[in-house]
Amino acid sequence: MIRLLKSKILMAAATALVLALNCAAQTSGTTQEVSPDPRIAAALQQISAKQIQANIEKLVGFGTRSTLSAQDAASIAAGHGIGAAREWIKAEFERYSKDCGGCLEIKTDAFTQEPADRIPQAIELTNVYAVLKGTDATDAKRIVLVTGHYDSRNSDTFDIRADAPGANDDASGTAVSLECARVLSKLKFPATIIFLTVAGEEQGLNGSHHYSQMAKDQNWQIEAVLNNDIVGGDKSAEQDHSVVRVFSEGVPAAATEQDLRRIRGLGGESDSGSRQIARYVADIGRTYDVGVKPLLIFRLDRYLRGGDHYSFNQLGFPAVRFTEFREDFHHQHQNVRAENGIEYSDVPKFVDYDYVSHVARLNAATLASLASAPAPPANVHLLTKDLDNDSTLTWDASPGGLAAEYELLWRATTSPEWEHVQKCGSTTRITVHLSKDNVIFAIRAVDHAGHRSLPVVPVPER
Ligand SMILES: [Zn+2]
């Protein structure tokens, strides 16, 4: 035991020596030592459980938000059906924009959804979103996006008559998008933030599928998608209100054959872009006191379930899903009723609004941090030409002018999260006395104020 410790200390000393030769400035530590941005911390205080409650109750008030429900003018005027919900979300985004001098661009992505499994006849489907355009000409092309689905369903996914309150699933996620928009629109960021609410989730992810395809066709640079679906913190006995789950895919759905060969050979199963977002969220949860801790779940989604993040994943966009710790399935996809002493329904009284506000804070802190940060460094390579127990990484400077320095991260191959960070200064090459065979590396960019980009795991270069 003592000998092991001694050798560890010697190794650390040797590491420090080699690093000293390569880095302009160095400190070694964990990735957790990031100090909060006071501007972001202050904004988080503006997130209101009361506002979230009002929004969820308003959405429930439309009776049903089934994607198949009414969208005609009379129903909209009567405040019933998905059309009325859509118009209200639009108006709400417009109200926030008015409060920030027109800083938000309110848009719709409307299209005809052809018949499919749960779509009996062609229907008009509309995603509603607000764009907070980045202030930097170059970095404005970079996009971080938060989404929730505003459609709902009851026991029968084709039933458009009976109420489908969908308070938790997913007025809660819609409320997160709305509240992030209301609060973050008061700030400015170099990169662009999109606040999205989609329809068609319950009928087969139709809205997010169309939206992500549009993003791909138009070459949008989406760096991260945060999907909030069932973040109401259902008040069941075994709920843990201190935790929110963050689901992320391991092997990317969009991996090419070449990607898969590398992943198989070198152990890249836990280093998708989505997983880097999940780790970033974990860091944010330690940096900001948001009231809820992210619990990383290293799988795409829950058993038998799916969500809108997958539409983005399928097209190669990194995306994660936030969901409460413990779902009560009596309170999802149910007609409002009581049977054998059990209350079935997804109604507001089961939603914990403080919990939703904590999840909204975690989302807002993540969006604001990513939108403040430099672009991730490009073309990150790990040189593997010669057999060598040292490791050399090279990269191109982070696109845009925000990066002040770079950091090398590494972790044991068996570790879920980054364990070590080493400052590299403004150099774009580093050699460390660590065997590439024993750890996983990544490089991230940092601006003058300490905002970190998403880390990029190197590809081997011979
Ligand atoms: Zn849902």
The CA distance from 289 to 63, in Å, is 36
CA 269 to ligand 1 centroid distance, Å: 27
Which H or E element spans position 221?
strand 221-228
How far apart are the C-alpha atoms of 364 and 231, rounded to whole Å?
14
Dist. CA 147 → ligand 1 center (Å): 11
Task: Please name which of 333, 348, 392 lies closest in space to residue 151, comparing C-alpha atoms.
Answer: 333
Task: For the chain, state the CA radius of gyration.
Answer: 23
Q: Which residues pair with 116 in a beta bridge?
A: 119
Q: How far is the CA of 168 from the centre of ligand 1 (A)?
A: 8
Taking the centre of ligand 1 as the mean of its atom positions, its distance from the CA of residue 170, in whole angstroms, is 5
Q: What distance in angstroms lies between residue 25's CA and the mean position of ligand 1's atoms? A: 47
User: 134 CA distance to ligand 1 centroid (A)?
Assistant: 29
Q: What spacing in Å lies between the alpha carbon of 47 and ligand 1's midpoint? A: 22
What gap in Å lies between CA 322 and CA 305, rounded to an integer?
Answer: 13
CA of 333 to the centre of ligand 1 (A): 9
d(CA 201, ligand 1 centre) in Å = 7
170 pLDDT more than 70: yes
Q: Which residue has the higher pLDDT, 18 or 426?
A: 426
Q: What was the pLDDT predicted at 273?
A: 98
How remote is the CA of residue 285 from the centroid of ligand 1, in Å? 23
pLDDT recorded at residue 462: 87
At 122 the pLDDT is 96
Asked whether the predicted pLDDT for residue 203 surpasses 70, the reply is: yes
Of 129, 83, 84, 87, nearest to 106 by C-alpha is: 129
Instruction: List the end-to-end C-alpha distance of the chain, in Å, as a whole number.
Output: 38
Q: How far is the CA of 132 from the centre of ligand 1 (A)?
A: 25
Q: Ligand 1 centroid vs 164 CA: distance in angstroms?
A: 12
Q: Rounded to the nearest whole angstrom, what is the distance from the C-alpha of residue 229 to the centroid of ligand 1?
A: 5
DSSP summary character for residue 452: B
Pairing of strands 319-324, 221-228: parallel
How far away, in angstroms, is 148 Cα from ligand 1 center? 8
How many A from CA of 185 to the centre of ligand 1?
Answer: 26
What is the distance in A from the centroid of ligand 1 to the CA of 149? 7
Q: What is the pLDDT of residue 12?
A: 47
**How many A from CA of 295 to the centre of ligand 1?**
19
In 10 A of CB 242, how many CB atoms?
A: 13
* Span from the CA of 48 to the centroid of ligand 1 (angstroms): 22
What is the per-residue pLDDT across 373-390, written as a single tens digit (0 to 9) for each?
A: 999 999 999 999 889 999
Task: Please give the pLDDT value at position 195.
Answer: 98
Residue 346 three-state SS: coil
Compute the average pLDDT of residues 259-286. 97
Q: Strand 342-344 relative to strand 221-228: parallel, antiparallel, unpaired? A: unpaired
pLDDT at 154 over 70: yes
Q: What is the pLDDT of residue 34?
A: 78
Ion ligand 1 residue ranges (Cβ < 5 Å): 169-170, 229
Give me ligand 1 centre to Cα 107, in Å.
22
Distance 150 CA to ligand 1 centre (A): 9
For residues 11 and 53, the model is more confident at 53
- Distance in angstroms (rounded) separating the CA atoms of residues 345 and 350: 9
Task: Give the Cα separation of 345 and 412 in Å (integer).
Answer: 45
How far is the centre of ligand 1, averaged over its atoms, from the C-alpha of 448 (Å)? 39
> What does the angle CA 144 – CA 147 – CA 151 come to, to the nearest 5 degrees?
160
Q: How close is the Cα of 205 to the center of ligand 1, in Å?
A: 10
CB 67 within 8 Å of CB 125: yes
Residue 22 amino acid letter: N
Helices and strands (H, E) in the chain, number of each type: 12, 18
What is the Cα–Cα distance from 330 to 434, expressed in whole angstroms?
52
Residue 30 confidence (pLDDT): 53
pLDDT tens string 58-112? 999 999 999 999 999 999 999 999 999 999 999 999 999 999 999 999 999 999 9
In angstroms, what is the span from residue 175 Cα to ligand 1's centroid?
Answer: 13
Distance (Å) of CA 353 to CA 25, 42, 180, 183, 322: 45, 20, 15, 17, 16
Q: How far is the CA of 169 from the centre of ligand 1 (A)?
A: 5
What pTM did the predictor assign? 0.93
Please tell me the distance between residue 305's alpha carbon and the centre of ligand 1 in angstroms: 9
CA–centroid distance, 189 to ligand 1, in Å, is 30
Tokens of 302: 């829950």
CB 164 within 8 A of CB 65: yes
Q: What is the pLDDT of residues 413-434, one digit of tens each?
A: 999 999 999 999 999 999 999 9
State pLDDT tens for residues 334-379: 999 989 999 999 999 999 999 999 999 999 999 999 999 999 999 9
Q: What is the pLDDT of residues 283-330, one digit of tens each?
A: 999 999 999 999 999 999 999 999 999 999 999 999 999 999 999 999
Closest CA to 29 of 416, 405, 419, 442: 419
* Confidence (pLDDT) at 7: 45
Spacing, Cα 159 to ligand 1 middle (Å): 17
On the question of pLDDT at 447 being above 70, the answer is yes
Going from the Cα of 202 to the center of ligand 1, the distance in angstroms, rounded, reads: 7
The token pair that represents 442 in the structure block: 């990544």
Where is pLDDT greater, at 10 or 257? 257
Q: pLDDT category, 16, cuts 50, 70, 90?
A: very low
Question: Average pLDDT over the chain, rounded to whole?
Answer: 93
CB 418 within 8 A of CB 410: yes
Distance 155 CA to ligand 1 centre (A): 13
Q: Give the model's pLDDT for residue 1.
A: 35
The runs of H, that is alpha helices, within 23-48 are 38-44
Residue 27 has pLDDT above 60, yes or no: no
Residue with tokens 């200064």: 425
